[in-house]
Amino acid sequence: MFIPGSICIYLIEAAAVAMWKIGLSLDPLARLATLQTGSPVPLLLHSFVRVPAGKAVEVEQAIHERLRFRRKWGEWFALAVRDVRYCQALMIRVARCYARAKWRNSALRLRRQGLPRQFQL
């Protein structure tokens, strides 16, 4: 599902060669299909999270920088289990912050509209 102003950060696994791709896409399933076309090994979309476009680039770059010593080629990395968990935890943290900010903004709009107190934060 496309949400305007958002991008997915994804982890794609090439288990046969023990490699992981960390990247950005509007549609991670379509990206998986594109990568699979040119890949000699099966690929699996391991996880993804939708975040604001500006934050997605920042988070992806932070992950790439943190894991630079595991980089093999471009956006492909040889990751240990703890590295995969780190990526997932960071992706989830950003998504939760984004969701909280959206909820907070919605609550502020409701307050401005003068809704009863029980419906406010």
Q: For the whole model, what pTM was predicted?
A: 0.75
The ranges assigned to domains in the chain are: 6-119
Q: What is the pLDDT of residues 40-80, one digit of tens each?
A: 999 999 888 888 777 778 888 888 888 899 999 988 999 99
Checking 57-64 for CB contacts under 8 A at 24+ apart, the result is 57/7, 57/24, 59/9, 59/90, 59/91, 59/94, 60/9, 60/22, 60/23, 60/24, 62/90, 63/9, 63/22, 63/87, 63/90, 64/22
